[in-house]
């Protein structure tokens, strides 16, 4: 980016400077009758012929850069998959059930220190569990294991008593959905962008998903409604709308379990409340595991799991853990000190 800006500026400058030089020197020579005014004029026009392609070249450079960046992302995606494989004789997960970790230990490839040690946890259908703890404690690792983005190094994760390693990928991705912090968009319409979550879904299904989280009107108000192209020259959707697209994708899949890693940075307050309301509707009636960074989120959870140094150190309701006066109580104290009371 810095290079292209610099290069673009330089090309522009050299172009203008050369014209000025030709006009200046040519004018002086013409004045002394060494050359004709016509020759100077021809020179200026020919110079433009020379610099236009050079300028186009710098634009081409931008395009190539953007394409290279996209290709890089694509490779990351392709590389991201093979961490888990489908069992040769897979079974479908039940429609509902308890999500449980049985003595799960996990170390990332090439890492000697486990990111998670001896996790035992059982989450009831429809329960909302918040994961809290310091950075690097292992919260996201718990979320990734519960959604089978990785398999445990030791121990098992089960849903309705079925080991996730035995589940067919199809039923796994229908049953447990990870909602990313950022809504990624592809070229195409709003319809297309939501439909990717469940290929084969009809337009009516997409409309239903948007209505289910209460944001249908907001998208219908776009210039061409749900047929609006979202990526003509950059994104036409705001950050908040992109998040709503992610939520609508999850609503379209309609899973039993939702896994969320709460964003640490806030949207603007107006958009924030729209996203929050849509999220609340999406979470209704489902099992939810949320990596929480805000007090308001943990207060709405049924139970809270405190993770520290790869271990589950406390588990209970907000009231229980506050009364206990341990790690969670200290965390709440710190939260209350750092934010104005009106925001809690």
Ligand X SMILES: Nc1ncnc2c1ncn2[C@@H]1O[C@H](COP(=O)(O)OP(=O)(O)O)[C@@H](O)[C@H]1O
Q: Which is nearer to ligand X, 137 or 250 (CB)?
A: 137
Least distance in Å: CB of 76 to ligand X? 12
Q: Which is nearer to Mg ion, 194 or 304 (CB)?
A: 304
Q: Pick one of ligand X, Mg ion, none as the site partner of residue 135 (Cβ within 5 to 8 A by kind).
A: ligand X
Q: What is the DSSP string of 109-137?
A: TT-SS-SEEEEEEEE-TT-EEEEE-STTS
| 158 SS3 class | strand
By rule CB under 6 A, what count of residues binds ligand X? 11
Interior CA angle at 146 toward 143 and 151, to 5°? 110
Q: Which is nearer to ligand X, 109 or 217 (CB)?
A: 109
Alpha helices per DSSP H over 32-167:
37-80, 139-146
Least distance in Å: CB of 309 to ligand X? 9
Least distance in Å: CB of 139 to ligand X? 3
Judged by the rule CB under 5 A, the positions of this chain that interact with Mg ion are: 140
265 in contact with ligand X (CB under 6 A): no
Handedness of CA 2, 3, 5, 10 (dihedral sign): positive
Q: Which is nearer to Mg ion, 140 or 299 (CB)?
A: 140
Count of beta carbons in the 10 Å neighbourhood of residue 55 = 13
Residue 148 has what DSSP assignment? Answer: T
For residues 305 and 73, what is the distance between their CA atoms, to the nearest angstrom? 33
136 in contact with ligand X (CB under 6 A): yes
Least distance in Å: CB of 186 to ligand X? 25
Strand partners, 163: 158
Q: Which is nearer to Mg ion, 181 or 203 (CB)?
A: 181
Report 139-178 residues binding ligand X (CB under 6 A): 139-141
Element containing residue 99 per DSSP (H, E): strand 99-106
Interaction mask 56-95, ligand X, x per CB under 6 A: ----------------------------------------
133 in contact with ligand X (CB under 6 A): yes
Element containing residue 240 per DSSP (H, E): helix 239-253
Strand partners, 329: none
Q: Which is nearer to Mg ion, 18 or 140 (CB)?
A: 140
> Which residues here bind ligand X, judged by CB under 6 A?
108, 111, 115, 133, 135-141
């Amino acid at each position: 980016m810095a290079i292209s800006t610099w290069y673009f500026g330089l090309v522009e400058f050299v172009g203008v400077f050369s014209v000025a030089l030709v006009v200046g020197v040519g004018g002086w020579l013409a004045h002394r009758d060494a050359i004709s005014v016509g020759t100077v004029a021809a020179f200026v026009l020919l110079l433009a012929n020379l610099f236009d392609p050079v300028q186009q070249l710098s634009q081409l450079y931008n395009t190539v850069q953007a394409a290279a960046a996209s290709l890089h992302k694509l490779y990351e995606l392709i590389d991201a998959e093979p961490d888990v494989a489908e069992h040769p004789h897979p079974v479908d997960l039940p429609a509902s059930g308890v999500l449980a970790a049985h003595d799960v230990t996990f170390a990332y490839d090439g890492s000697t220190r486990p990111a998670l040690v001896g996790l035992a946890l059982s989450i009831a259908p429809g329960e909302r569990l918040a994961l809290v703890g310091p950075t690097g404690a292992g919260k996201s690792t718990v979320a990734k294991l519960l959604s089978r983005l990785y398999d445990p190094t030791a121990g098992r994760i089960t849903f309705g008593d079925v080991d996730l390693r035995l589940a067919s990928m199809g039923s796994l991705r229908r049953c447990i959905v990870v909602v990313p912090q950022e809504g990624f968009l592809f070229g195409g319409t709003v319809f297309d962008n939501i439909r990717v979550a469940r290929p084969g879904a009809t337009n009516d299904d997409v409309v239903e998903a948007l209505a289910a989280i209460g944001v249908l009107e907001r998208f219908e108000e776009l210039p061409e409604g749900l047929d609006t192209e979202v990526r003509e020259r950059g994104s036409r959707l705001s950050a908040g709308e992109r998040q709503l697209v992610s939520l609508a994708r999850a609503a379209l899949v309609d899973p039993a379990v939702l896994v969320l890693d709460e964003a640490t940075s806030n949207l603007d307050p107006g958009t924030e409340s729209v996203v929050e309301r849509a999220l609340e509707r999406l979470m209704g009636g489902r099992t939810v595991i949320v990596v929480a960074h805000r007090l308001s989120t943990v207060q709405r959870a049924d139970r809270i799991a405190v993770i520290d140094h790869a271990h589950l150190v406390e588990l209970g309701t907000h009231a229980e853990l506050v009364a206990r006066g341990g790690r969670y109580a200290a965390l709440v104290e710190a939260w209350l000190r750092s934010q104005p009371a009106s925001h809690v």
